[in-house]
Structure 1
């Protein structure tokens, strides 16, 4: 009888842990600790703000420790009550129960049973519709801690990249930094699809999720992380747009390099554009070496390709630094793009309110486009009466400012692509695009057409200002008139 009582006590112990959600409470303690460490290591936060945030975290941690202690006491109390109750009823003595509990057979057996029971309950819980939903932030506490550590110090990332250059000097071929391709536009213009299609060709290499979070040392960290990360599995990204990503998927991590070398352009509430005259020789040298490193991560690749939405704020500088580069700017109908921008902002604002790490992640990789992480690029200083980002006119004005700036700063190596036309008739425009970016072997580009979806009917932005909408329509037509396929010379070459 004593064994049966001890087994029931074990079940009671686990039941109370789950009922009081001990796993969530413990996770909250870990998250709070990580946030506090991230604040302490962040050099952009003032000392006074650090002290205030760390004090709040300390109070929260104290409450968490009291709560987890209470849960532990309640679990032990439930188990002890069952065992004591059996002894009180005369089924066995307390000494007998303690003797059995301290014996090796029961210790080993109960441990195995507890683990099996916990795993079974986890699997049972995951059969519910809510548990089957994809995780919005699929990172373990260890993953979060590693990312926070990497994001906290851009200087550390630069030093690690410099060390990598010394260690992998023989694999880094500087000639592969020639003829890079930079894909850029405002978000939701088709840049991700463009990157996925071109990066799948054997000629191009791009940064991938395998290189996170130490993206400035892709050879060193990418090779190390591949040892313990499982490639191949894909899941829908946080945007909820149906695009699935895995460790080998290309992604926009280039902005971390710009943040590391140009911190003065990243204010707390905005990003200031670059000019063609901006100069930092150490940045240019590091960037060229970094591009060669990325190419070295993909066997057979000969050219670097990236997607970076913020590059629309530095078109002239990119063309000056890399005279042989091709800059591809997808252009999407403003009605569809603005509606998507607003939806994504609201989606990420909600996510950031519920998942603080999601905001830290986006800010750490330089994605300041949406939600609580929003830092608009200051294309114009004449923004005295902007509506809130929750209103469609904010994004419509931002769209107009952005693409007016693109028209004003784009040079002869910047190529516009009508995204809607590309999706409707991909084959002909794809071949013209590959000719524009000087891709010698165009045989595999037809496969890219398979990932393009026909454009949906243009939505009606009824809440938008009619005058702003008219300006956006005129600007959209002007951009598309300069897109590839619209401006061809008699020889078939793209003209600017």
Structure 2
């Protein structure tokens, strides 16, 4: 029976490693889902909106089909011990030993090997100090402006209900990359006479109140921001 548990651990490892190896597919599925929502929220010409929505829906369905196929293959891999156990496989899978075997194999797949060559490049996420999940979240929000604008309007409406009033006076700080605009901005905010968003508000820069519910940046060691 111990041999069956070992086989179940190995098959679970293979199934989850396959899922990890196809992380770019999961990224595409997430991005295309938001793209469909972005198309629905678009306020452009109806014909243009419909064409864009149809294209986004087609890409989403293709990604969804590929994802379901991936899950099916993964389930087949986990079911490999059934070839040897027969009817006893279900009892093995539902036993505490079977659950431990599946958990152990699945956990190992996310740590061994530490890196998978080509996964980052295939997902369209470049080398960065930000994690792949951070980059994915940025692409999901910043590449789909209608979703972002809808979140901004919702936040502004709630802010006005709480008595908020817009202040028309503002100061633009702009310039070329590495020209010192960030330093100037921080010095102006430090005076107390100005308020500004900062990089901690990314990627929900237009809805900072909503983002603050999920992300509260600490005051750790400052790191130089990457420039592309």
TM over 0.5: same fold? yes
| Deviation readout 1:113-134 (Å, 9 max, x if unpaired) | 2453244248x229x9x89742
Distance 2:214 2:58 in 1: 39
Large movers: runs of 4+ above 6 Å? none
Distance 1:81 1:226 in 2: 44
Computing the radius of gyration from Cα coordinates, the structure with the larger value is 1
Report the CA distance between 1:164 and its aligned residue. Answer: 1.8
Distance 1:190 1:73 in 2: 53
Please tell me whether residue 31 in structure 1 is matched to residue 20 in structure 2: no
* Residues 94-493 of structure 1 mapped to structure 2, 5 A cutoff: 94-107=86-99, 109-121=100-112, 124-125=114-115, 133-135=128-130, 138-141=134-137, 144=140, 150-153=147-150, 157-158=152-153, 160-168=155-163, 182-188=171-177, 189-209=179-199, 213=204, 215=206, 221=209, 225=212, 228-232=215-219, 236-237=224-225, 240=227
Report the CA distance between 1:159 and its aligned residue. Answer: 6.2
Aligned partner of residue 207 in structure 1, secondary structure: coil
CA pair 99-79 structure 1, distance change in 2 beyond 3 A: same
Q: How many residues align?
A: 215
Distance 1:4 1:50 in 2: 53
Report the CA distance between 1:24 and its aligned residue. Answer: 1.7
Which is strand-richer, 1 or 2? 1
CA contact (8 A) 1:9 1:78 kept: yes
Distance 2:153 2:48 in 1: 26
CA pair 182-120 structure 1, distance change in 2 beyond 3 A: same
Residue ranges of structure 1 left out of the alignment (5+ in a row): 88-92, 241-346, 348-496
Distance 2:27 2:36 in 1: 14
Report the CA distance between 1:77 and its aligned residue. Answer: 2.7
Distance 1:162 1:80 in 2: 52
Question: Match for residue 79 of structure 1?
Answer: 78
Report the CA distance between 1:52 and its aligned residue. Answer: 1.3
Question: Match for residue 15 of structure 1?
Answer: 17
CA pair 81-58 structure 1, distance change in 2 beyond 3 A: same
- Ranked by relative contact order (alpha carbons within 8 Å, sequence separation 6 or more), the top structure is 2
Report the CA distance between 1:162 and its aligned residue. Answer: 4.8
Question: Match for residue 66 of structure 2?
Answer: 67
CA contact (8 A) 2:174 2:181 kept: yes
| Deviation readout 1:409-439 (Å, 9 max, x if unpaired) | xxxxxxxxxxxxxxxxxxxxxxxxxxxxxxx
| Deviation readout 1:228-284 (Å, 9 max, x if unpaired) | 43333555546x1xxxxxxxxxxxxxxxxxxxxxxxxxxxxxxxxxxxxxxxxxxxx
Question: Match for residue 41 of structure 1?
Answer: 41
CA pair 197-66 structure 1, distance change in 2 beyond 3 A: same
Report the CA distance between 1:149 and its aligned residue. Answer: 6.2
CA pair 47-105 structure 1, distance change in 2 beyond 3 A: same
CA pair 229-95 structure 1, distance change in 2 beyond 3 A: same
Aligned partner of residue 171 in structure 2, secondary structure: strand
Distance 1:64 1:150 in 2: 20
Q: TM-score, normalised by structure 1?
A: 0.36
Distance 2:214 2:154 in 1: 23
Report the CA distance between 1:183 and its aligned residue. Answer: 3.7
Q: For the aligned residues, what is the CA RMSD?
A: 4.0
CA pair 225-163 structure 1, distance change in 2 beyond 3 A: same
Report the CA distance between 1:198 and its aligned residue. Answer: 2.4
Q: TM-score, normalised by structure 2?
A: 0.70
Distance 1:57 1:104 in 2: 43
CA pair 237-136 structure 1, distance change in 2 beyond 3 A: farther
CA pair 149-198 structure 1, distance change in 2 beyond 3 A: same
